[in-house]
Chain A
């Protein structure tokens, strides 16, 4: 476990890089990129070592180190620390890998930009911030990381701040997520207050202790519901769930590598990650789970449609990201802990790939619009196949990463539905429908970009075109350089194995994605609201106790071994068939799963499970969508895009369900015209007057101080000292007469006086 103790290095390396680049980057031969790359490479290697360590050990007890940071009062402590388990190491791997690829990519993509060094400092700072959030062992530290990533996001969205529209996009992103963050902070405070009330710990923000207290029933259900819903509000903002997703498509104003790193692969998954981190808490209350499922489902279903009418390739991918984040949240809402974070993991890779691919296209074509592309598969063969691979993964083509993870989400929904939860069926049905939409818009994009004839070349460098290279490339688009291609190919090749790790083809039942990310807290969690749950748990505990007793009394089996044996023991499964039927729950856990421990209902996740029916349906949907897209777009861009020809539906979609307009009319306008005016008035009339009054008073006080204190007291004192010194010296100087005989007389008098004094003293 030793390497896990050094996980903090992964976090601090990018920070060191950020500081060094910020101060010395411009002096370096490669403008600071070498520092950023070196730091992230080392961090990446460490992340791999940590991942290998956690992966090969199955569900491990998390490694927690912390130091007391500052007292909170009343004997409570605030910590700063690290909490490393499978989930943490999974995020480490994702963040460092994508960050590494993006930094390599940006060295070419951002070449010649003003603020090139600043960009790399920001990338490193972002990586650090995200890792602070990931490694946090307490919710306050997580908030610190959460806000830092928000800051980096803001700064990088507004990277081209010369354009007003980019400033607006940055402000919008910042304000929307900040509104949601209020919820997060309130939620964290509610939870910590609940923990404080128990009086059982002196670290109220500690995540592990919060979870333990919740699982042992010390937190009231009101605390949990309010805390979780408020934290979920934060996640809604950060992870782009409807209706607070409005900032995410606008965030595409930032440079494309930033979109890949922050607004697709890592930062936007922070909300999902945080829910997963606190998942045992969320699983306690049905109302919280249902909220997750409903918001997630709405998001996954409706966001996809908007992607169908976009012409800007980055906007397509942005809405796609919103939709995929909806899948993750919905999966968490239907008990699919593993499914949700598995999708987070795979999505991070292939969405980063897609964004970087889009950046490569934009780099070549000098336009974000798909109507300016077309036929690029001949000009950019490597970008072409990597982009197609990413699209297939996103659309869930069999054996790609998205196939496994999305399949698991659907299975989670199905299992949840089988346990009598209507949200499970909702996720299943709308998830399938959503995957049809996903496939359609990705097929549309790929066909518009890579098939047909090249429609660009008439270099119109509009306002949004400052991303283009310094020299204007006319004529045919060209393939990007090796650094961009390395990043693309690496991510493309990664898109397959990351999916296999959690898929049913993975050879090991003991060491796979599910056991990797299952922390001990997750293993011990139950759904209190599922009927039959408690019975099953009681049975299981009884059985375990018996088994342990046998083991100890009988053949000297260690307690641990006995437990392990119990994990696979059939007796429970056989004996309690009817109880088992209800709480089979858990995510992808099949009813026939050999793992009796999981079947007790004491688990929130499941081993990879293959549902041929579901996969078949998903494949059919995939083929149908691709076929439809081929019919429409197969022969190049049609004169009139049918998605723009659906009457009111198109209007609705093009206007993004009017959510932005509603937000503008009912939030921005009132705030701007009423609240802002009020604030201005209060600033002018109240605060300014107060400041003026204080200023006047201060001036009068100063004048009187000058007249009395300074002129009279201090100056008088100083002058008096001088005058008295002069008066005394005028008199005392006469002693120095120059007459030697007087001195001699004084000497004699003094001697006689001394003799008399000593004589008197002796007598």
Chain B
């Protein structure tokens, strides 16, 4: 099977993620967009391993994908904790409101 279709899917997902990170104002949605980008990468890893280097002695791509899923879970945990604290302090999850670290 050609890797083109998975790569197009991954690119699409990544672009959606980037758009979400830059354009959404809701912090939760920004976090979710980050997850989209991570998963786009996961698709790439798995696709390359299984379609191009399937004879490789170790399944490095899949293992990497598993690691990323684990790290993403942790990251989302931390991120949601920050968002919760933000909401508690400001009663808002709008990222435009948190620009205190500026000139």
Contacts and interface: CB of A to CB of B under 8 A. Distances in A.
B21 A741 contact: yes
A739 B103 contact: no
Contacts of B18: 748
A434 to B, nearest CB: 107
A734 B18 CA distance: 24
B22 A739 contact: no
A736 interface: yes
A467 to B, nearest CB: 88
A756 B26 CA distance: 31
A732 to B, nearest CB: 9
Nearest to A748: B18
Interface in A716-750: 733-734, 736-741, 744-745, 748
Contact of A738 (B23, B30, B100): B100
A739 B21 contact: no
B99 interface: yes
Interface string A521-536: 0000000000000000
B21 A744 contact: yes
Contacts of A748: 18, 22
B66 to A, nearest CB: 26
Contact of B103 (A733, A740, A741, A745): A733
Given A744-B21, A745-B22, A737 B95 contact: no
A311 to B, nearest CB: 102
B88 interface: no
Contacts of A737: 99, 102-103
B75 interface: no
Interface residues of A, number: 11
Nearest to B23: A741
B101 interface: yes
Contact of A736 (B21, B23, B95, B102): B102
Nearest to A736: B103
Contacts of B23: 741
A36 to B, nearest CB: 78
Interface in B60-103: 95-96, 98-103
Nearest to A752: B18
Contacts of A736: 102-103
Interface string B17-40: 010011100000010000000000
B95 to A, nearest CB: 6
B101 A738 contact: yes
A754 to B, nearest CB: 15
B103 A734 contact: yes
A386 B83 CA distance: 117
B34 to A, nearest CB: 10
Contacts of A744: 21-22
Contacts, number: 30
In this complex, the interface size class of chain B, counting residues with CB under 8 Å from chain A, is 10 to 19
A734 to B, nearest CB: 7
A733 B99 CA distance: 14
Contacts of B101: 738
B102 A741 contact: no
B100 A741 contact: no
A450 to B, nearest CB: 108
A733 B102 CA distance: 9
A745 B24 CA distance: 12
A738 B95 CA distance: 10
Contact of B95 (A733, A734, A740, A745): A740
Nearest to A730: B103
A185 to B, nearest CB: 79
Contacts of A745: 22
A568 B98 CA distance: 122
Nearest to A741: B22
A741 B99 CA distance: 10
Contacts of A741: 21-23, 30, 95-96
A733 B103 CA distance: 6
A594 B103 CA distance: 115
A709 to B, nearest CB: 38
Nearest to B34: A744
Contacts of B98: 738, 740
Contacts of B100: 738
A22 B23 CA distance: 88
A728 to B, nearest CB: 14
Contacts of B21: 741, 744
A326 B95 CA distance: 115
B93 to A, nearest CB: 13
A471 to B, nearest CB: 89
Nearest to A739: B99
A553 B21 CA distance: 120
A748 B101 CA distance: 21
A750 to B, nearest CB: 13
Interface string A170-209: 0000000000000000000000000000000000000000
A738 B102 contact: yes
Could you say which of A737, A741, A745 has the most chain B C-beta atoms within 10 Å of its C-beta?
A: A741
A444 B11 CA distance: 133
A738 B30 CA distance: 16
Contacts of A739: 95-96, 99, 102
A684 B22 CA distance: 88
A744 B21 CA distance: 8
A181 B23 CA distance: 101
A745 B95 CA distance: 14
Nearest to A740: B95
Contacts of A733: 103
B47 to A, nearest CB: 20
Contacts of A734: 103
Given A739-B102, A741-B21, A748-B22, 19 more contacts: A733-B103, A734-B103, A736-B103, A737-B99, A737-B102, A738-B99, A738-B100, A738-B101, A738-B102, A738-B103, A739-B95, A740-B95, A740-B98, A741-B23, A741-B95, A741-B96, A744-B21, A745-B22, A748-B18
Please name the 9 residue pairs, one residue from A and one from B, whose CB atoms are nearest each other, closest first. A738-B102, A738-B99, A733-B103, A736-B103, A745-B22, A738-B101, A739-B99, A737-B102, A744-B21
Interface of A: 733-734, 736-741, 744-745, 748
Interface of B: 18, 21-23, 30, 95-96, 98-103
7 contacts: A737-B103, A738-B100, A738-B101, A738-B103, A740-B95, A741-B22, A744-B22
